[in-house]
Chain A
Amino acid sequence: MNDTERHEIEMLLPWHATGKLSAEEKRRVDVALARDAGLRRQSELIGQELAQTVTSNEALMPPRSLDADKLMAMLARESKSPAAVASSWFARLKDTFNGPARVPLRWATVAAALLLVVQGGAVAILVAQRETGRYQTAGDLNGTQAPGTYVLARLNDAASIADIGKALQQRSISIVDGPKADGFYTLRVGGAEMSIAERDAKISDLRSLTGLVVFVAPLK
């Protein structure tokens, strides 16, 4: 490990302490910590810094007057409603995902077309339910859902089926449920053993697919 590599590791140590690194970054830091006593010492110091930062934050308590009723009274004086915002993202999404007949048909086609490899080697076949516009996995058909790590997502209905299928397949990600009434899909991004940092890395990766994925969030 040269000086540059060591310094990169040093800068990642705080996120190693909070479990917010990608799987690859965590592996690099773990290897470095095993070899370098100086880094291990820094890691101990970071633990102390973290504990005292939490204590300092928790000492700050809001006054009783910071209550919801006061906020509601202030809100009542607001003239502008967010609903008045033209073409809000949610409104567009609602149109996209919940339009009559159009969505179930389109995504039924997607489901029929995609055979997505679930991480670990198992294969999930998405079964379209044309009547309900909802999909079922093989696991769902058995009344069970396979153990795994799941995220909540909204997909870009304007994107091509081929592009979405290719992107998910390349990442061993499968659609396991949806669309729900609010337009969300459940995606399986990995096995149950996946760490939070690995899951967050998957989420970041999905968010980078800006033309295909509109929204991604962890399912806890």
Chain B
Amino acid sequence: MTESAQDLALMERLAAGDHQALKVLFMRYRLQVFRFVGRIVRNDAVAEEQTNEVFLDVWRNAGTFQGQSSPCTWILAIARNKAYGAIRRRREESLDEDEGQELADEGFDPEGLAMISDKALILRRCIDALPLEQRMIVDLVYYHELPVAEVSAVACIPEGTVKTRLFNARKRLSTMLLEAGVDREWP
């Protein structure tokens, strides 16, 4: 049986209440989900907790899966919602405790980066320092290798916005790299 057919069969077994099917689905997608969530929440403990929550939601909602996207895309869409929910809760808690600074995006330190000679490492640091909404699209396209329509489904934005957001992220990377002393000669 192909991978796609296996996923569909697993979804069907899930909808019928088969615990073992969730276990197999978890083993198949836990790494992908953990990384996707982890890159959003930037906290391993929260990422672990939310990854478990994603699969519990997959279990709870298997009966509503319509098959209009692949099971993988459907799971990543749930993961996005869980990760954003976790960020909102942490932000509320941090504001209560006046620790909002903790939730700022990973710091971009051009002067520090300028001391690094490895251009690939500088680029990686700049990608990691992109604003969340841009970084998520970068991850979905480059790492998860989703086509435009599937990125749109996971990110809950129109396909045109997906393209524009990635283009703007790429331009921003050039600006960040220039500040760190690396001229990509684009745009």
Q: Report if A31 contacts B (CB, 8 A).
A: no
Closest-CB distance, A56 to chain B (whole angstroms): 5
| Interface bracket on B | 35 or more
Q: Given A71-B23, A75-B59, does the pair A51, B3 have CB atoms closer than 8 Å?
A: no
CB-CB nearest in chain B for A62 = B34
Is residue B64 within 8 Å, beta carbon to beta carbon, of the partner chain? yes
Max chain B Cβ within 10 angstroms of own Cβ: one of A17, A57, A72: A57
Interface residues in B117-156 (C-beta closer than 8 Å to A): 120, 123-124, 127-128, 138-139, 141-143, 145-149
In the complex, which residues of chain A have a beta carbon less than 8 angstroms from the beta carbon of B65? Answer: 89-90
Q: B148 to A15, Cβ gap below 8 A?
A: yes
Give the Cβ gap from B40 to chain A, nearest Cβ, in Å: 11
In the complex, residue of chain A having the shortest beta-carbon distance to the beta carbon of B24: A68
B63 at the interface (CB under 8 A from A): yes
Instruction: Evaluate contact between B124 and A66: CB separation under 8 angstroms.
Output: no
Complex interface: stretch among A80-88, A101-109, A135-143, A165-173: A80-88
Q: B185, A41: Cβ atoms under 8 Å?
A: yes
Q: Which partner residue on chain A sits nearest B70 by CB separation?
A: A217
Q: Are A60 and B35 in contact (CB under 8 A)?
A: yes
Report the minimal beta-carbon distance from B102 to chain A, rounded to whole angstroms. Answer: 19
Residues of B within 8 A of A10 (CB): 167
Is B95 interfacial (CB 8 A cutoff)? no
Chain A residues, Cβ within 8 Å of B128: 56
Min Cβ gap A205→B in Å is 11
Q: Does B17 contact A (CB under 8 A)?
A: yes
Question: On chain A, which size bracket covers the interface?
Answer: 35 or more
| Cβ-neighbour of B120 out of A48, A90, A184 (below 8 A) | A48
A46-81 residues at the B interface, CB under 8 angstroms: 46, 48-58, 60, 62-63, 65-66, 68, 70-72, 74-75, 78, 80-81
Give 15 A-B pairs besides A66-B51, A91-B63 with Cβ atoms closer than 8 angstroms.
Answer: A14-B141, A38-B186, A49-B123, A56-B39, A57-B39, A62-B34, A71-B56, A75-B19, A82-B62, A83-B17, A88-B64, A182-B8, A182-B12, A217-B7, A219-B2
Closest 8 CB pairs of A and B: A85-B63, A215-B67, A88-B63, A83-B17, A53-B142, A20-B147, A217-B4, A11-B163
List residues of chain B with CB under 8 Å of any chain A CB.
2-5, 7-9, 11-12, 14-17, 19, 22-23, 26-27, 30-31, 34-35, 38-39, 44, 47-48, 51-52, 55-56, 59-68, 70, 120, 123-124, 127-128, 138-139, 141-143, 145-149, 163-164, 166-167, 170, 173, 184-186
Of the A-B pairs whose beta carbons lie under 8 Å apart in the complex, a sample of 20, sorted by A's number, is: A15-B141, A20-B147, A38-B186, A46-B170, A49-B127, A53-B139, A60-B39, A62-B31, A62-B38, A66-B48, A68-B26, A72-B23, A75-B19, A82-B17, A83-B16, A89-B65, A90-B15, A152-B2, A154-B67, A219-B4
